Amino acid sequence: MDKYEAIIGLEIHAELMTKSKMFTGAPVVDSVEAEPNTAVSPLCLGMPGTLPVINKKAVEYALRVALALNCQINQDNIFARKNYFYPDLPKGYQISQYEEPIGVNGWLDVTVNDEMRRIRIRRVHMEEDTGKLTHVDDGTSLVDYNRAGVPLLEIVTEPDIHSGEEARAYAMKIRQILRYLGVNSGDMEKGVLRVEPNISIRPSGSAELGTRTELKNLNSFRVLADGTAYEIERQAKVLDAGDRVVQETRGWNEAKKRTFSQRVKEEAEDYRYFPEPDLPPLYISDEWIAAARAALPELPDAKAARYVNELDLSAYEAQVLAQERAVGEWFDTAVTAGGAPKSIAKWMINELFRLMNEHRQMIDRIQVTPQGLVELIALVDKGTINNNTAKDVLAEMFTSGQSPQEIVEAKGLAQISDEAALATAVTQILDDNPEMVARYLAGENKLRGWFVGQVMKATRGKANPGLVNQLLSQQLAER
Amino acid sequence: MNEETTHKIMDLTNLTLTELQTALQNGETTSTAVTEAMLERIVAIDNDIQSYLTLTDELALAQAQEADERRARGDDSPLLGIPLAVKDMICTEGVQTTAGSKILEGFVPPYDAFVVRKLREAGAVILGKTNTDEFAMGSSTENSAYVTTRNPWDLSRVPGGSSGGSAAAVAANLAYGALGTDTGGSVRQPAAFCGIVGLRPTYGRVSRWGVVAFASTLDQVGTFGRTVADCTAVFQTIAGHDPHDSTSLDVPVPDYEAALTGDIRGLRVGVPKEYFVEGIDAEVETAVRTAIDKLAELGAEIVEISLPHTEYALPVYYLIAPAEASSNLARYDGVRFGPRVAGVDMIDTVKKTRALFGPEVKRRIMLGTYALSAGYYDEYYGRALKARTLIKQDFLNTFDQVDVIVTPTTPTTAFKIGEIADDPLQMYLQDIFTLSVNLSASCGISVPCGFDSQGLPIGLQLIGNSLQEATILNAAYAYEQAANWTGAMAEQPL
């Protein structure tokens, strides 16, 4: 048993990919790419007299996430003002949810080292993002309000996580679900998804919680895992040395692979929360909840389970195909188009993904259609083309967008299954190579492959390999 | 100017808004002519009154010309071509809006408030922006960072506040009507002090979009007129739902002008005993009691009532309003708009910029911050919210028994400039009769009901239930027509 037990809670901030901001019609733009301060309205700048209006789409997205994370939905949603000063916060307060967040008491199952763990989710609430402050060398500070007011969802766990790997597995799963729901791109480097662990340790078996530190600005899942693991070790060393852990916010130094102190929190911040007087309570009706629930897509776990139980895929295949919603839906479409699930899975995983990697394309951008793949597999099953030709045809489909039938016809790739024609070819090869025939008949069985190769060569690879083998057996036996 | 033009200007500026409507409709004058007359009068006498902070003369003349063109094309909108004034708490696109504060000096909004857009669409002429206590925090305009407006009835006295500039402008015939804002009494109290009519509509009846926020659950735009009909005409134009204000009420706007029948027979009028207590000026009380008798003469049924939580209104208001203000005013940091006072670094710059706030604003920010702080929230802000519910309930219960509640608008008539400026508590007591309306989501109007022995106007407050503006407007109209103080109002010292 380890000397210490780590207690970790995760706060995830996810921007919602709506067209407009949380409380104003100003557009949501890529805040890394866009020219600073071009996607702002008077409200985004906190100008006097401007008033917020709730973006219904953002609520819809938040509702989807809360439902997907198995939360209870609060029907009376109260927005609150979280008051604090920073120049990237245009109004001097952030409109957030405090006492009545949209979702509470949810959970998510994650698998770490083949073990399933249930992480409880304390709350999911809606709020708005801040602007971005950049400090320039000469002491000037620049501020960009493009991001200010972008709808933001905060997802907070109970302290149910116990290692960096668990933190990573949970965060990755949240990202996967957000992407499945179509509400967030999951791009951590652009900051649209931000993960902040609260970490404390305590002697194993103890019931008391230790002093916690918070890690911020972790821009990848690997950094989340490494940073959390480092922080657990660091706290253990502090306790072992008889010191106490300081409550603070820490950052991650990627070069030195360690955390460093950013800001010590001497006392709890007082945000002077009070109900947002500019927004009446938002009521989410039973009908709205039911409609949102009905519109939820099949989520990754359910999808993978269905692939194994109903379509007879291996656990590995199921997991790979359910990883991304677009991939799963591509597969589902192909199955609906009439292909054998197992064959489709193999062709996708072995061939299609290789081509996608080669061409660096996502599945929703490729020219190959699920119907096209099903047709290709049918051509193989019917014996029109053989497996190797089919791979070439798929590559051609990938680059040209043509149907397999078109490619096979245009290039004359249909395999020769005409028994008379193939028999003539086989006879010709055997007649031309009497000494090889003699060696084969003397017992050199491995030469059989050589004969097949010669027939294939003569037919430019189009011979039906099964038929060739059958004819070879017949004719060799007659010699 | 020669005697003839002086006479002409006098005539035009003396008209009430409704008289001007008729004159314009009959082609007896043009918007350009009355706008020029108003601007000339403003130039001539506003130096003494200081009701305007910004005069938008060029804009006004352009609007007047456009209004005349519209009228020539057959347009007959009620406010077409009528010169009005707008309190400087209300944003005007392209025109400086200061909220009476140095922290917004030079701020030119890129948008119109909803109410200003309504006025522009109706073809009204905007003469300028009127003085206000800084961020509407005050009852005398003495807290304006720019000037103190003077009461046209006695230039040594305050016009009331915070909408003192608008009230003085209308009283001195420097506008035919005006917009104000009323968070605790800021339309009704100056209306009473200046001898004009001031309406505070129900919260949500008029959009707050573009109105500089003071206390978001209490703020509401109100209207001033020399007569009830004038006040109503402006209100009719600005009332209505605005999807950009989530607290705006989506209910149909009645024809308020048609509601002014003057018939109040059977109207149940409640007189709350808690409003006739120690501290009220004897002459004010006499005038209000006489007015109540007049309402009875007109056929109203007078009922003695009780609003038992009245004494809590003032402390409740002075917790809720500053709490909301402390949050609303956090945006004035010099980073994005308004003046910036450079400091050694970012935080120092913000601190130096915020030093532009005046003392009363700072006092309320501190009060409000304290009331919302951890450990004090429950005791102050939380309890204030509960008490507010009790006050609301008082009014709801009372409106089961009566249609209108009648009270004095203010405990005294206009006080001298400087008389209580250094005593915030005395100043806060100015709103003691008006702020329950804001706390309870009722509506209220102040209508002149006589003069004290010094010749200073006295205001009668009529309070109606939520969205019952038509009822109080008609009651005020009936009283006004019967008492006939309007004639006396015209005999002004200026």
Residue for token digits 């733009």? A29
| Domain-wise residue ranges, chain A | 4-288, 298-411, 419-477
Nearest CA in chain A to B376: A272
Residue B214 inside a domain? The answer is: yes
pLDDT of B282 strictly over 50: yes
| B359 exposure class (CB count in 10 Å sphere: 0-12, 13-18, 19+) | exposed
Q: How far is CA B109 from the centre of its chain?
A: 21
CA A139-A141-A146 angle, to 5 degrees, is: 165
pLDDT tens digits, one per residue of B350-406: 999 999 999 999 999 999 999 999 889 999 999 999 999 999 999 999 999 999 999
User: Is-contact A452 A468, C-beta < 8 A?
Assistant: yes
User: Is-contact B60 B39, C-beta < 8 A?
Assistant: yes
Is any Cβ of chain A less than 8 angstroms from the Cβ of B96? no
pLDDT of B7 strictly over 80: no
pLDDT of B4 strictly over 80: no
pLDDT number for residue A477: 84
pLDDT number for residue B6: 46
Instruction: Give residue B167's domain range.
Output: 3-267+403-488
Is there a single domain that holds both residue B323 and residue B189? no
Q: Among residues B387, B413, B437, which one ends one of the domains? A: B387
Chain B residues closer than 8 Å to A42 by CB: 109-111
pLDDT of B490 strictly over 70: no
Chain A residues closer than 8 Å to B97 by CB: 48
Collapse the DSSP code of A258 into the 3-class scheme (helix H, G, I; strand E, B; otherwise coil) and give the result.
strand
Q: How many CB atoms lie within 10 A of CB A213?
A: 23
pLDDT number for residue A136: 85
pLDDT tens digits, one per residue of B251-261: 999 999 999 99
The CATH number linked to B245 is 3.90.1300.10
Residue for token digits 């007959």? B76
pLDDT along chain A (479 residues), means of 10: 90 98 96 94 97 98 98 96 95 96 97 93 98 86 95 98 97 97 94 96 92 93 97 96 94 94 80 97 97 96 96 96 95 94 96 95 94 94 87 94 89 76 87 89 87 85 82 85
B313 vs A139 pLDDT, higher one? B313
Is there a single domain that holds both residue B147 and residue B256? yes
pLDDT number for residue B489: 55
Report d(CA B417, CA B433) in Å as an integer: 21
Is there a single domain that holds both residue B236 and residue B206? yes
Q: How many CB atoms lie within 10 A of CB A452?
A: 17
Chain A residues closer than 8 Å to B104 by CB: 48
Q: Among residues B336, B352, B387, which one ends one of the domains? A: B387
Residue B161 inside a domain? The answer is: yes
Is there a single domain that holds both residue B221 and residue B369? no
Residue B299 inside a domain? The answer is: no
Phi-psi category of residue B360: left, alpha or beta, with phi > 0 → left and psi -120 to 50 → alpha = alpha
Task: Look over chain B and give the mean of its residue pLDDT values, rounded to a whole number.
Answer: 95
Is there a single domain that holds both residue B66 and residue B96? yes
Contacts of A165 (CB under 8 A, 6+ apart): A112, A113, A225, A229
Interface test with A, best of B108, B111, B335 (most A CBs within 10 A): B335
Residue B162 inside a domain? The answer is: yes
**Does residue B8 carry a catalytic annotation?**
no
pLDDT band with cut points at 50, 70 and 90 for residue B65: very high
Is there a single domain that holds both residue B242 and residue B142? yes
Is there a single domain that holds both residue B139 and residue B106? yes
- Tell which residue, A335, A341, A346, has the closest CA to residue A390: A346
Q: How far apart are the first and last CA of chain B?
A: 17
Q: Å from B155 to nearest chain A CA?
A: 32
pLDDT tens digits, one per residue of B184-208: 999 999 999 999 999 999 999 999 9
Residue B62 inside a domain? The answer is: yes
Residue B284 inside a domain? The answer is: no
Of A49, A85, A273, the CB nearest to B213: A49
Q: Å from A8 to nearest chain B CA?
A: 26
Question: Which residues on neighbouring strands pair with residue A77, listed in sequence order?
Answer: A282
Is there a single domain that holds both residue B25 and residue B109? yes
Q: How many residue pairs bridge chain A and chain B with CB atoms within 8 Å of each other?
A: 104
Is there a single domain that holds both residue B362 and residue B410? no
User: Is-contact B191 B166, C-beta < 8 A?
Assistant: no
pLDDT number for residue A383: 81
B-facing residues of A in 55-114 (CB < 8 A) are 81, 83, 85, 87, 90-93
ipTM of the complex: 0.95
CATH number of A419-477: 1.10.10.410
pLDDT of B8 strictly over 70: no
List B162, B436, B440, B442, catalytic entry: B162
Cα→Cα distances B447→A195, B83, B297, B462, Å = 60, 22, 18, 8
pLDDT band with cut points at 50, 70 and 90 for residue B250: very high
A35: DSSP letter: P
**Does residue B87 carry a catalytic annotation?**
yes
Residue B16 inside a domain? The answer is: yes
Is there a single domain that holds both residue B69 and residue B164? yes
Report d(CA A460, CA A472) in Å as an integer: 17
The HSE-up count of residue A303 (CA atoms within 13 Å, CB side) is 25
pLDDT of B417 strictly over 70: yes
Chain A residues closer than 8 Å to B352 by CB: none
Report d(CA A354, CA A358) in Å as an integer: 6
Is there a single domain that holds both residue B228 and residue B360? no
Residue B367 inside a domain? The answer is: yes
Cα→Cα distances A108→A61, A64, A65, A75, A116, Å = 18, 14, 12, 22, 10
pLDDT of B1 strictly over 50: no
Is there a single domain that holds both residue B378 and residue B409? no
Report d(CA A92, CA B335) in Å as an integer: 11
